[in-house]
A and B are shown apart, each in its own frame.
Chain A
Amino acid sequence: MPVEVRLPTQLRPLAGGATSVTASEGTVAAVFADLSARYPGISEQLVDESGALRKFVNVYRNDDDIRYLDQLDTKLTDGDVVSILPAVAGG
């Protein structure tokens, strides 16, 4: 069973309208690279030019924020669910 990646509304058009897509297990970074190869434009929304997670993007492995795990190096195994949520922020 692969990894499920749940997409926020704004990214779904880049994945043909899908609410979630599957990817092979690995790190979060590897999953993003995998998605980018299949759905051009997605990766740019998630990581910046230096490869770091964008500031206002929250990524979860199951219910855990990856910033409190190993960030983009967080390992994903079969059956894990990755949720991508834009942060709620302002001034």
Chain B
Amino acid sequence: MAFVAPTLRLTEDQYRAIVGHCYDGLPNEACGLLIGPVASGEPSGAVSKVRPCRNEDASALTYRIDGRDQIAAMRAAEARGEEIVGCWHSHTHTDAYPSATDVAQAAWYPEWVYVLVSLRDGDPVLRAYRIRDGDVAECQVAVS
């Protein structure tokens, strides 16, 4: 694998905010953006802010982050001297693994970490990935 898959580091509060937002979005997919520092164009895996966003598609099968929430998150990141470093979305009835659509869309932001939260089973499953040129590499997730 020719690209770095950093360990995604979340605080317990961030983890709960992401998973809670996914449950709040049911029956539809939920989505949001991760803000953090960027060094030399590569994500470090550090996250300073999680930004829950609206799913413009309001769908159980697809998501699109509301354009207004996206620009607001970008401005918030700029104000911190940081960038959007990733996003999350839920899969309500499938694995926490990027779908073909997810892989195709990730071409626009190949430097991001993509978090998937599966709500299929009793307990939520949160996993993270880098997606680049159609390749998927799993990132470790550390919650502390």
Contact = CB atoms under 8 A, between A and B. Distances in A.
Interface of A: 8, 10, 56, 58, 60, 63-65, 67-68, 83, 85-91
Contact of B108 (A10, A65, A68): A10
B62 A88 contact: no
Interface stretch (B6-14, B67-75, B134-142): B67-75
A82 B70 CA distance: 15
Contact of A87 (B67, B74, B75): B67
B62 A89 contact: yes
Contacts of A10: 108
Contacts of A85: 67, 70-71, 74
B71 A88 contact: no
B72 to A, nearest CB: 7
B89 to A, nearest CB: 6
Contacts of B101: 89-91
Interface string B54-75: 0001000111110110111011
B68 A88 contact: no
A67 B70 CA distance: 14
Interface of B: 31, 33, 57, 61-65, 67-68, 70-72, 74-75, 87, 89, 98-102, 105-106, 108-109
Contacts of B98: 90
B71 A89 contact: no
A85 B108 CA distance: 9
Given A8-B108, A56-B105, A86-B109, A91 B99 contact: yes
Nearest to A8: B108
A58 B70 contact: yes
Given A86-B108, A90-B101, A91-B99, A63 B71 contact: yes
Given A10-B108, A63-B75, A88 B70 contact: yes
Contacts of A60: 67, 71
A58 B31 CA distance: 17
Contacts of B63: 89-91
Contacts of A90: 62-63, 89, 98-99, 101-102, 105-106
